[in-house]
Structure 1
Amino acid sequence: MKKLKLFYAFFALALLLTSCSSDDDNNPVTDDDGVAVEEKDDVIDSQDDPDLDPEDLKGEVRADVTITADTEWMLTGALRVVDGVTLTIEPGVTIKAQAGGTEVYMVILQGAKIDAQGTAEEPITITSAAENPRSGDWGGLILAGYAQINSGDVATTEVAEVTYGGDNDEDNSGIIDYMILEYTGARIGGQQEFNGFTFYGVGSETSISNIMVRYGDDDGIEWFGGTVDVTNALVVNAKDDWFDWTEGWTGNGKNFYGIREFGFNDVTEDPRGIEADSNQGNNDASPRSNPTIDGLTLYHQSTINMADMIKIRRGSNATITNAVVAIFAAEDENAGTASDFIDLTDNSGNGSSETSINVTALGGIDATAIKDAGATNITVEAGNTGADTSVFAWTGYTFPSLDSAESED
C-alpha cells in the first residue's frame, strides 16, 4: 500500500511539472506592456526582426531589408543574403566590423542582390571596430553569381563555403556605388584568404563603380570568373596583390589605381600590382580570362620589394591600355624594387601570347625587365596618363605626385 501511495505521489508531481512546462511554452517572453517579444534566432526575415540589430548585425537575411543611415551598425558575424532577397544599404551608412577575423564578413549569395548606392557626398563605409585597427580584422564583401567560370560548371569558394558559377553571363547581383572597405582580408590559412571585394562568377548586369579598398591583409580586389565590369577602383596598401583575377574573368575594368605607400611594409611572399591567372590545371580552359583594362596606375613607394608589377600567367589573356607603372621613393628614402616589370612566364603555364599592354614606366622601374613569353604587343612608351585620380576625390585620399619621376622609353 505504501508503494502504491508513493507511486501516486510521483505521478502527481510529474503531472504538475508537465503542466508548468506547458504553461511556460504557452507564455512567450513579453515586454513591460505585456506584448510578446520575438527572440533572436540568427535569421532576419523582416525589417522589424530583432536580428536586424544595429549593435549585433549578423545572420541569414531571408527578406528584403534596409541598413539605414540613422544609426551606426556593428557587424559581429557573418551576414549572408539568400536567393531572391535584396539587401539595401543607404547612402552615408557606416558599418563597423568586429575584429573577429574569418567569422565576420558579408556575402551576397547566388540569386540575391545588394543595393548599396552611396554618393560622393555620402559614401558607404565598412571598416574595423578595433581601437587600433589593422589589416585582416574582418573578412570582406563577397558577391556570388551565376556567370561562367572555367573551373567547372559551379565551384565552392575557398572561404565561407559559397557556391558560384553557372551559365548566365548576364546575371545581376545588384549595385555597388561609392563604397569604402577597410582592414579586410582575414586569413584561414596560406591559401584561404578573404579579400576586400571578391567577385565570384558575377554577371554583367551587376553594376560596380566608385569603390575603394584600404589596408587589406590579402588582395584588394579579386575576380573569380564572371563577366562583371568595374569602373573607378582604388586600392591602397594591400598586403598581397592589388588587382587579381582567375577562373575566366572576361569583364572590363575602367580607371584602376593601386598604390603601396611609403611606410606600409606588411607583405606576403610575392606581392604584385596585378596577378592574373586563367586556370592553373588547364591553361586552355574555357572561358579564358581575358579582361580589358583602360586607364591603370600602379605606384610603388614602399621600401619592400615587389615580386612583379604586372604578372599575367596560366593561360590568362588581357588587354591593358593607357597604363602607368611607377616605383618612386617618398620622403627622400630609397623605394623598393620589383623583380620584374612585366612577367608573362610561370612554371604552371605562361600567359597568353595575345596579351596586349601599352604602358609608361616611371621612376625607378626597370623598363627592360620584361618576360614576354612570346607576346609581341607589349609597348613601353612615354605619355600615358594612367588612372584619372580626380574621380576619387570623394574618398578624401591624397594622391602623390608623379611629376618628378622620369619616364623610361
Structure 2
Amino acid sequence: MKKSILSMLAIAALTFSSCSEDDNNDPVDNSGIITSNADIIAGDLHGTIEGNVTLKSNVEYLLTGALLVKDGYTLTIEAGTTVKVEAGRTDTYVAVEQGAKIMAAGTAAKPITFTSNATNPAAGDWGGIVIAGKTQTNKGAAVQSEVAGLTYGMPAGSAIADDNSGVLTYVIAEYTGAKINGDAEFNGFSFYTVGSGTTLENLVVKYGFDDGVEFFGGTVDLKNILCVNIADDMFDFTGGYTGTITNAFGVREAGFSTASKDPRGIEGDSNESDADALPRSTPTFEGVTIMNFSTETELTAGAEIRRGTEATINNIAFIAVGDAMFGNLVDTKDDSGNGSVTFTNAYKMGNVGENKVGGTITGDIVEDANLFNGTAVAAGKGANFSVFAWSGYTIPTVN
C-alpha cells in the first residue's frame, strides 16, 4: 500500500510539473464568454466578446490569448489604455468579426498602446489587430482570413461600401507579426474588406515581423500612419482594395536586420490568380515617405505594384541614407500579372535602384540630393512627419 501511494504521488508530481511548463506553442483556452465588464479578467484577458464591453484606461491588462469581438457587439477601449501582450505566442491577438465594432479612440495626449510584456521584446512577440468588414474583395464572396479565422468579403449585391467597423485613432501596436507558418503571419494591422464608414487615423506600428499594415480588399481610407522597423512590407494591399492612404511614413533604422526575403516600402497586388479580377485594386496614396537607414538589409523595392493593380501615388519620397540601398525603385513586373502606377511629385535620393518595368509607370521620379539633410526630410516632399509628434518617435539623425 505504501508503495502504491508513493507511486501515485510521483505520477501526480510528474503530471503537475508537465502541466506547469510554459509551452508557448500550446493554445490558450479562449472559450470564455465575455458579456459584460464583470467577465473581464485584467491579468488574463482573452475570450469571446458577446456583449458591449470596455477596457478602462486605469486598469493594467495582459492579453493572454485571442480576444474575439462577435457580430453585433462592440469593444470600446478608453483613451490612454495600455494592453500588454504575453510574448512568444501565435494566438494572442484582437479580432473583430463582420458586423462587430472596435471603438479605440485614443488622443494625441492619451494614445492607446498594445505592446509585448517581454523583458527584451522583439518583432513577432504577438499577433496584431485584425478587423473584417462587409465590402467586396476579388477573392470571393465569403473568404477566410489568413489569420484569426475571420470570414470576409460579400456577394456583389450585398456588399456595403460604407460599412462601419468602428474607430482606431491614436493607436500604437508594437512587436507584432507572430508567424504561424510560411503561409500565415499576422501584420500590425490587418483590414479585411473594411468599409469606408470606419475611421482609421494616426496609427503607429513599430517592430513588426510581417507587414506594418495590410488591406485585403475594402474601401476604407487611412490617414497618418507611421511604420518603424518592419521586417516585411511597410504598406501592403491586395484583393481589390480601393481606398486612399494619406500621409504614410515608413522607416527602417540602421542596425535593424530582421527581414523577410523581400521587404518593400509599398507592396500592391490585385489578384495573384487572375490579374483582371474585379474589383481591381485601385488605391490612391497622398504623401508617402519610404526611408532606409539599414545597411544590413536592403529594401527589395521602394514600391512593387503588380498583379493587375492600378495605383495612383501623389507626392512620394524614396530615400536611402548613406550606404543603405533599395534593390529596385519601382517594380511593376510580375509573372502573375503586371501592374501600373501613376506618379505626380515623386522624388528620390541615395542608392534607391532603378525601375523594373513590366507594366506601366507614368510620371517622373526626380533626383533630389536635399530630400534628407541628416535630421529632417525636406518640407512638402513626401509625408508630413510632424503629425507624428504625439508618438514620441523621431527620425534617426546622421552626419
Matched, 1:371 2:356: yes
The answer for the alignment partner of 1:17 in structure 2 is none
Residues 400/145 of structure 1: CA separation in 2 closer, same or farther (3 Å cut): same
Q: Distance in 2 between matches of 1:267 and 1:378?
A: 30
Query: Do 2:288 and 2:317's aligned partners in 1 also have CA atoms closer than 8 Å?
Result: yes
The answer for the alignment partner of 1:135 in structure 2 is 123
Query: Do 2:253 and 2:396's aligned partners in 1 also have CA atoms closer than 8 Å?
Result: no
After superposition, give the CA deviation of every residue in 1:164-192 in whole Å (9 maximum; x if it has no partner): 11111111000010000000000111121
Q: Distance in 1 between matches of 2:143 and 2:108?
A: 36
The answer for the alignment partner of 1:48 in structure 2 is 38
Query: Which of 80, 85, 91 is the aligned partner of 1:103?
Result: 91
The answer for the alignment partner of 1:321 in structure 2 is 314
The answer for the alignment partner of 2:396 in structure 1 is 400
SS of residue in 2 equivalent to 1:391: helix
Query: Which of 255, 263, 269 is the aligned partner of 1:271?
Result: 263
After superposition, give the CA deviation of every residue in 1:57-101 in whole Å (9 maximum; x if it has no partner): 000000000000111100000000001111000010000000142
- Where do 1:90-239 residues align within 5 Å? 90-166=78-154, 167-239=159-231
Query: Do 2:136 and 2:217's aligned partners in 1 also have CA atoms closer than 8 Å?
Result: yes
Query: Do 1:77 and 1:100's aligned partners in 2 also have CA atoms closer than 8 Å?
Result: no
Aligned pair count reads: 354
The TM-score with structure 1 as length reference comes to 0.84
After superposition, give the CA deviation of every residue in 1:137-158 in whole Å (9 maximum; x if it has no partner): 1000001001110001121011
- Where do 1:302-381 residues align within 5 Å? 302-303=294-295, 304-329=297-322, 334-335=323-324, 337-352=325-340, 355-356=342-343, 358-366=345-353, 369-381=354-366
Q: Distance in 2 between matches of 1:138 and 1:199?
A: 17
The answer for the alignment partner of 1:301 in structure 2 is 293
State the one-letter code of the partner of 1:379: D
Gaps of 5+ in 2: 1-29, 372-379
Q: Distance in 1 between matches of 2:245 and 2:215?
A: 11
State the one-letter code of the partner of 2:254: F
Residues 374/46 of structure 1: CA separation in 2 closer, same or farther (3 Å cut): closer
Q: Distance in 2 between matches of 1:374 and 1:94?
A: 45
The answer for the alignment partner of 1:12 in structure 2 is none
The answer for the alignment partner of 2:15 in structure 1 is none
State the one-letter code of the partner of 1:44: I
| Structure 1 residue 364: Cα displacement | 2.5
After superposition, give the CA deviation of every residue in 1:258-297 in whole Å (9 maximum; x if it has no partner): 0000010111111111110000100011110011110000
State the one-letter code of the partner of 2:308: G
Gaps of 5+ in 1: 1-39, 405-409
State the one-letter code of the partner of 2:237: W
After superposition, give the CA deviation of every residue in 1:244-266 in whole Å (9 maximum; x if it has no partner): 10001000010000000001011
Residues 234/161 of structure 1: CA separation in 2 closer, same or farther (3 Å cut): same
Q: Distance in 2 between matches of 1:296 and 1:71?
A: 36
Residues 365/387 of structure 1: CA separation in 2 closer, same or farther (3 Å cut): same
State which structure, 1 or 2, has the greater radius of gyration over its C-alpha atoms: 1
Q: Distance in 1 between matches of 2:363 and 2:131?
A: 33
State the one-letter code of the partner of 1:298: I
| Structure 1 residue 380: Cα displacement | 1.1
State the one-letter code of the partner of 1:392: F
Query: Which of 228, 236, 253 is the aligned partner of 1:244?
Result: 236
State the one-letter code of the partner of 1:234: L
Residues 385/313 of structure 1: CA separation in 2 closer, same or farther (3 Å cut): same
The answer for the alignment partner of 2:275 in structure 1 is 283
After superposition, give the CA deviation of every residue in 1:312-331 in whole Å (9 maximum; x if it has no partner): 000011100110000003xx
The answer for the alignment partner of 1:22 in structure 2 is none
The TM-score with structure 2 as length reference comes to 0.86
Q: Distance in 2 between matches of 1:396 and 1:190?
A: 34
Q: Distance in 2 between matches of 1:223 and 1:129?
A: 27
After superposition, give the CA deviation of every residue in 1:4-56 in whole Å (9 maximum; x if it has no partner): xxxxxxxxxxxxxxxxxxxxxxxxxxxxxxxxxxxx9611011212xx11100
Q: CA RMSD in A?
A: 1.5
